[in-house]
């Protein structure tokens, strides 16, 4: 939230959204073991739940990233798969290897997946009407994941404390300008009927 100046209420909503997804997916993993009449390996619920959320939620994002990486026309910032993304210097505590029976590589991969999920959800939460253009959300998410500390285009400092309706800089400096361009382009071409509605 602090690195990108997301709105506090939006981040809280997406945190609760993520916890709900994690609980649901861990339950589904456990249910599959029970249906197969196998003992539920509690130590695997977290890792399998995170992996399933990542696959389900970020399938389009991963496909988009792969297509962009394969394209000669677009160059995305290089990132190592098993390491945490820079996230503009945001504080992120990786999952301990003890959650993965001491397997540090698996813990690092799950931490990276969680960082990507959290970033995607925060960007999506701020996106408003822009979220209906998934490629734009994917592009913004990729830039957020790759942002180095101190490289935010709007200064990377949080807005001053204010009323509960104050927009964060991410919304006002990233999302709103994109929406304004789309709105102006679309409404130049829309015919209005006598009753004031789009034809």
- The fraction of the chain above a pLDDT of 90, given in percent, is 28
Model pLDDT, residue 190: 58
Residue 193: pLDDT over 80: no
pLDDT category at 160 given cuts 50, 70, 90 is very low
The tens digit of pLDDT for each residue in 29-57 reads: 999 999 998 898 887 888 899 999 999 99
17-56 burial, b at 16+ Cβ within 10 Å, e below that, comes to ebeebbeebbeebbeebeeeeeeeeeebbbbbbbbbbbee
What does pLDDT average to over the chain? Answer: 81
Model pLDDT, residue 130: 86
Dig out the tokens for 11 from the structure: 């981040």
* Residue 14 Cα distances to 21, 78, 195, angstroms: 10, 27, 39
């Amino acid at each position: 939230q602090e690195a990108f100046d997301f709105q506090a209420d939006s981040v809280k909503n997406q945190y609760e959204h993520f916890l709900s997804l994690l609980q649901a997916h861990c339950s589904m993993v456990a249910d599959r073991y029970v249906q197969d009449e196998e003992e539920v390996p509690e130590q695997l619920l977290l890792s399998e739940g995170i992996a399933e959320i990542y696959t389900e939620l970020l399938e389009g994002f991963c496909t988009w990233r792969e297509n962009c990486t394969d394209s000669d026309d677009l160059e995305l910032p290089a990132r190592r798969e098993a390491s945490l993304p820079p996230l503009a210097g945001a504080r992120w505590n990786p999952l301990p290897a003890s959650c993965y029976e001491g397997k540090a590589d698996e813990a690092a991969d799950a931490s990276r997946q969680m960082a990507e999920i959290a970033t995607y959800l925060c960007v999506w939460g701020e996106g408003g009407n822009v979220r209906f253009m998934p490629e734009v959300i994917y592009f913004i998410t990729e830039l957020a994941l790759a942002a180095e500390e101190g490289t935010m285009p709007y200064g990377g400092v949080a807005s001053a404390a204010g009323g509960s309706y104050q927009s964060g800089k991410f919304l006002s400096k990233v999302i709103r300008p994109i929406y304004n361009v789309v709105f102006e382009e679309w409404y130049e071409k829309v015919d209005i009927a006598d009753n004031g509605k789009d034809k």
